[in-house]
Amino acid sequence: MQPWNWDYDLPDDWQPATDSEWEWYLVRKINYNDLTGITQDILKRHFPTINRELDPGKRALFTYYLEHTKP
């Protein structure tokens, strides 16, 4: 299910294939509060690149989450 404010019409089975697609996808999902399907591994991999594009509150939350969780 896609949030009501998702402004791109993506097929239900669409998955990001490249790093730039993943970064775009993660920024959109995180900033619009759709966290389904985002794993810690994916977030750790792309967070250094996307953190400046995130809402400041969400950036602080995810920074704390990534730095203070056990492996």
Q: Give the pLDDT confidence score for residue 4 in this predicted structure.
A: 54
Q: Give the pLDDT confidence score for residue 5 in this predicted structure.
A: 52
Measure CA of the first residue to CA of the last residue in the chain; give whole Å: 30
CA neighbor of 50 nearest in space, from 71, 14, 42: 42
CA distance 26 to 41: 12
Angle between helices 19-31 and 56-67 (to 10 degrees): 110
**Is residue 30 within 8 Å of residue 6, measured between CB atoms?**
no
Whether the model clears a pTM of 0.85, i.e. scores above it, the answer is: no
Q: Which residues, 6+ apart, have CB-to-CB distance to 44 below 8 Å?
A: 66
What are the boundaries of each domain within the chain? 35-71
pLDDT of the chain, 71 residues: tens digit per residue? 455 555 567 777 888 999 999 999 999 989 988 888 899 999 999 999 999 999 999 999 999 999 986 55
Q: Give the pLDDT confidence score for residue 57 in this predicted structure.
A: 93
